[in-house]
Amino acid sequence: MPFRTAEAVSPAHPDKVADQISDAILTEVMRRDPAGRVAVETLIGHSTCAIVGEITAKMDAPVNVSDVAAAVLTELGYDPNALSFVVDVHEQSPDIAKGVDNGGAGDQGIMIGYACRDNEEMIPQELYLARKILKAIVTKYGMRDAKAQVTLDPAGRAYRVVVSAEKLTEAEVREAVDFNAILEKVDAHIIINPAGPWTGGLDADTGVTGRKIVQDAYGPRVPVGGGAFSGKDATKVDRSAAYAARRMALSILKATPDAHEVRVEVAYAIGLAAPLALQVFIDGKPAELGETHANALEMLEPANIIRDLRLDATDFRKVAAWGSFGNKDFTWEQIV
């Protein structure tokens, strides 16, 4: 097995701020109209927050997206009064709506589901460890712009670790993170703030919705098939089918006790409900679905995914904060 590396970023990283604003807007629209359609992008940095996209929903009053964004910023430790808000939001294109209204997929593409036995979250170990490091920093010091990167050697042991955390010294990071306990290896080379002390956040950087799609999923070990997740309602299979494929991968792994990992690939065409193709790989080898293939295709139709995973009543802001997979609170992580 080769060296494997993954990076994670904290919820206060500008890109994650943008993701959470887009998903908070989505969640508020869905709260008012579970059948609403949303595709919202956020660009934020320095003195500006721009929110652009499409919202179509039956509501007594439109969602004030600037107010939603301001609430997210305040919760993450930023001052919304330091930003000017630019909003350009319209209704969904009728060309897209006519296909989706009949139960078709809101986009085309290839979505990936994955599960492995590396840890209790069933995600790649390198990403799992990077997130644990960041969560320890946030628990100790609160929200701040931070990144963690973990490289495993071919035996699966921690080999190199890089942590960048704004406004913290190396001693403070080590006080927050018990590297020996998290990594289970005391001689991993740990590099903290390699360029020296720094100040990040929105004063120093810019965030854009969907720019962290690899860490939102499984890290670079697993292919990224579709587009970004955040800011999109569940008719967009970029998001919903990736969640359904994850649940399928978890279910297959549970039913295959000798397997270590499962990857599911499913393809869609915009406006069509039934997936175009479905392939499952168990430990890297194609698996034969047999009689379950037709049932699986039906379960992967957008309307059935939304119903089964209750995606019309999900708080997507929580999903955006730390990534889409590994949290047992999410319906797609719950298998029987």
Task: Kindly report the CATH number assigned to the domain that includes residue 40.
Answer: 3.30.300.10
* Tokens matching residue 135: 């969560």
Please enumerate in sequence order all residues whose Cβ is within 8 A of that of 63, keeping only pairs 6 or more positions apart, or say none.
Answer: 25, 28, 29, 32, 55
Nearest Cα residue to 84 out of 70, 71, 72: 70
Question: Are residues 247 and 167 both part of a single domain?
Answer: no
Question: Are residues 217 and 173 both part of a single domain?
Answer: no
> CA 125, 238, 16: angle at the middle one, nearest 5?
60
Q: In the beta sheet, which residues pair with residue 86?
A: 50
Helix-strand-coil percent breakdown of the chain, rounded to 5?
35, 25, 40
> CA 294, 296, 298: angle at the middle one, nearest 5?
75
Question: Are residues 216 and 329 both part of a single domain?
Answer: yes
* Cα 322 to Cα 329: distance, rounded to the nearest angstrom: 12
Domain that holds residue 66: 15-99
95 burial level (CB within 10 Å; 0-12, 13-18, 19+)? exposed
Question: Are residues 167 and 249 both part of a single domain?
Answer: no
Please enumerate in sequence order all residues whose Cβ is within 8 A of that of 53, keeping only pairs 6 or more positions apart, or say none.
Answer: 22, 38, 39, 40, 41, 89, 90, 231
Distances (CA, A) of 89 to 69, 177, 217, 331: 14, 42, 27, 30
Question: Are residues 32 and 146 both part of a single domain?
Answer: no
CB 187 within 8 A of CB 180: no
Question: Are residues 129 and 113 both part of a single domain?
Answer: no
Question: Are residues 114 and 246 both part of a single domain?
Answer: yes
- Residue 206 placed within a domain: no
- How would you write the pLDDT of the chain (336 residues) with one tens digit per residue? 799 999 999 999 999 999 999 999 999 999 999 999 999 999 999 999 999 999 999 998 899 999 999 999 999 999 999 999 999 999 987 776 776 877 888 788 999 999 999 999 999 999 999 999 999 999 999 999 999 999 999 999 999 999 999 999 999 999 999 999 999 876 889 999 999 999 999 999 999 999 999 999 999 999 998 789 999 999 999 999 999 999 999 999 999 999 999 999 999 999 999 999 999 999 999 998 877 788 899 999 999 999 999 999 999 999 999 999 999 999 999 986
Question: Are residues 217 and 298 both part of a single domain?
Answer: yes
- Residue 27 placed within a domain: yes
Question: Are residues 146 and 67 both part of a single domain?
Answer: no
State how many domains the chain has: 3
- Residue 23 placed within a domain: yes
Please enumerate in sequence order all residues whose Cβ is within 8 A of that of 236, keeping only pairs 6 or more positions apart, or say none.
Answer: 39, 106, 107
Question: Are residues 113 and 246 both part of a single domain?
Answer: yes
Question: Are residues 323 and 223 both part of a single domain?
Answer: yes
